């Protein structure tokens, strides 16, 4: 059997040298036998073309030169088809690489927008605390160590009752308020 990549011209040259050697030994073959034997030596990738030739042509009248010409044309068609397929694969690969590169560019623009958003958030955060009088940087000499009172932790340091202004309780617990409400209820009930 002939290798797949070998061109028809080389296959024919080998076949022709074998036929010439056989003629030298006085082994005679008819042209019909030449065509059949040559078709049998072809690689299986040629099987479809061999079948088409066997069905469409009369192998007894088909010359070896006509067969070789027919197979050369088919070989050129196969080469062009394979080149077309290869070029399409290369184009699809380059398109895929371009898409990947563009998506990476999109990722970097996304990270840029996230960086900008983060910077704006920090800026707004600083403005908010500057307005409230906290989070203002002080010179190193004026800094006091950070201390939390137990009252400040719960926010009770500044709280006091609105009715009697006593810092020990809130208005809901105020004794003066409950007396006042009882008097109001008593007056309203009569």
How do residues 39-67 score in pLDDT, each as one tens digit? 888 888 888 888 888 888 887 788 888 88
Closest of 5, 27, 77, 75 to residue 37, by C-alpha: 27
Query: Which residue blocks in 42-174 are alpha helix, DSSP H?
Result: 47-56, 64-132, 150-154
Question: What's the pLDDT at 190?
Answer: 47
3-state helix, strand, coil in the chain (%, to 5): 70, 0, 30
Q: Is the entire prediction scored with pTM above 0.75?
A: no
Q: Which two tokens stand for residue 171?
A: 């208005």
Q: Domain ranges in the chain?
A: 8-82, 158-190
Nearest-10 crossing angle of helices 31-41, 64-132: 20
Q: What is the DSSP string of 134-146?
A: -S----GGG----
pLDDT in tens, 65-113: 888 888 888 889 888 988 888 888 887 776 655 555 555 555 555 667 7
Rounded Cα–Cα distance for residues 163 and 180 (Å): 10
Cα–Cα distances in angstroms (integers) from residue 115 to residues 102, 108, 123, in the given order: 20, 10, 12
């Amino acid at each position: 059997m002939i290798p797949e990549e070998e061109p028809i011209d080389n296959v024919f040259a080998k076949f022709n040298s074998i036929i010439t050697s056989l003629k030298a030994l006085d082994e005679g073959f008819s042209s019909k036998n030449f065509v059949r034997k040559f078709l049998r030596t072809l690689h299986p990738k040629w099987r479809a073309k061999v079948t088409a030739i066997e069905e469409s042509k009369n192998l007894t009248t088909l010359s070896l030169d006509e067969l070789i010409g027919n197979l050369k044309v088919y070989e050129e068609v196969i080469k062009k088809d394979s080149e077309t397929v290869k070029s399409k694969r290369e184009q699809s690969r380059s398109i895929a690489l371009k898409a990947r590169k563009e998506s990476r560019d999109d990722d970097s623009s996304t990270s840029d927008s996230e960086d900008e958003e983060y910077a704006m958030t920090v800026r707004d955060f600083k403005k908010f605390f500057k307005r409230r009088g906290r989070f203002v940087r002080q010179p190193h000499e004026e800094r006091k160590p950070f201390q939390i009172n137990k009252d400040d932790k719960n926010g009770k340091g500044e709280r006091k009752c609105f009715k009697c202004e006593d810092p020990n309780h809130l208005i809901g617990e105020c004794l003066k308020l409950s007396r006042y409400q009882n008097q109001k209820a008593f007056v309203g009930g009569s």
